[in-house]
Chain A
Amino acid sequence: DSGVTQTPKHLITATGQRVTLRCSPRSGDLSVYWYQQSLDQGLQFLIQYYNGEERAKGNILERFSAQQFPDLHSELNLSSLELGDSALYFCASSVDAGTGNYEQYFGPGTRLTVT
């Protein structure tokens, strides 16, 4: 158990809908990262937040957005869903960016199925 929690574990929804994925980082971790894992794309970095602020952006679609709240939990919002958005979405956390502690700890993931 990494200490990172994600809810829900599974999510089935229809095209065009909007969903919210939630992540709680390990206690004490300030950075949260979101990744998408699909069969043909591997693990793709989406976005990183550090202590409430966006820090780095990867291949995140405009239909997707994220935020990190004062209690450091994070939410990933996916809207206007398409079949191709079906994937595993992982959240990871690390202690701090720039302090020399680089280890990221992954949550168990949310499996999103768009029908």
Chain B
Amino acid sequence: GENVEQHPSTLSVQEGDSAVIKCTYSDSASNYFPWYKQELGKGPQLIIDIRSNVGEKKDQRIAVTLNKTAKHFSLHITETQPEDSAVYFCAASYQTSYDKVIFGPGTSLSVIP
């Protein structure tokens, strides 16, 4: 089955700097890669996703890149702000008639003011 690894497990950056979180997946059939942000005491929130027919996607300060050959994808957050502090999860799935999503172990991001 699918296995998703995520690095680093913790990340601390100064406000205004960039943060990068990297993930690898094992199943070459996976074709959908969402990223979730989980704040303390809340459920995960989808922040951006990318499908296998796209190499990069941007949404304001957030971008995701996908390298299908190497089976890895990354989340880039630019101009970080204290409210970006949270746990970020990458995930991978093979979207057919069902949507089983496998999550990475998470990255705890701290943005220092």
Question: What separation, in Å, do the CA atoms of A14 and B52 have in the docked complex?
Answer: 45
Q: How far is the CB of B50 from chain A (nearest CB, A)?
A: 11
**In residues 73-106 of chain B, which contact A (Cβ within 8 Å)?**
89, 93, 95-106
For this complex, into which size category does the number of interface residues on chain B fall?
20 to 34
Q: Are A45 and B46 neighbours in the complex by a CB distance under 8 Å? A: no
> Which A residues touch B43, using CB under 8 A?
2, 4, 90, 92, 106-109
Question: With A103-B34, A104-B34, A109-B43 in contact, is A56–B49 under 8 Å at CB?
Answer: no
> Which A residues touch B89, using CB under 8 A?
42-43
List the B residue with the shortest CB-CB distance to A43. Answer: B103
Q: Are A45 and B32 neighbours in the complex by a CB distance under 8 Å? A: no
Question: B26 on the interface (CB 8 Å rule)?
Answer: no
Q: How many residues of A contact B (CB 8 A)?
A: 26
Task: Mark A82-111 against chain B: 1 for CB-CB distance below 8 A, else 0.
Answer: 000000001010100110001111111100
Question: B45 on the interface (CB 8 Å rule)?
Answer: yes
Q: Are A42 and B49 neighbours in the complex by a CB distance under 8 Å? A: no
Q: Are B101 and A2 neighbours in the complex by a CB distance under 8 Å? A: no
Q: Are B95 and A58 neighbours in the complex by a CB distance under 8 Å? A: no
**In residues 33-53 of chain B, which contact A (Cβ within 8 Å)?**
34, 36, 42-46, 49, 51
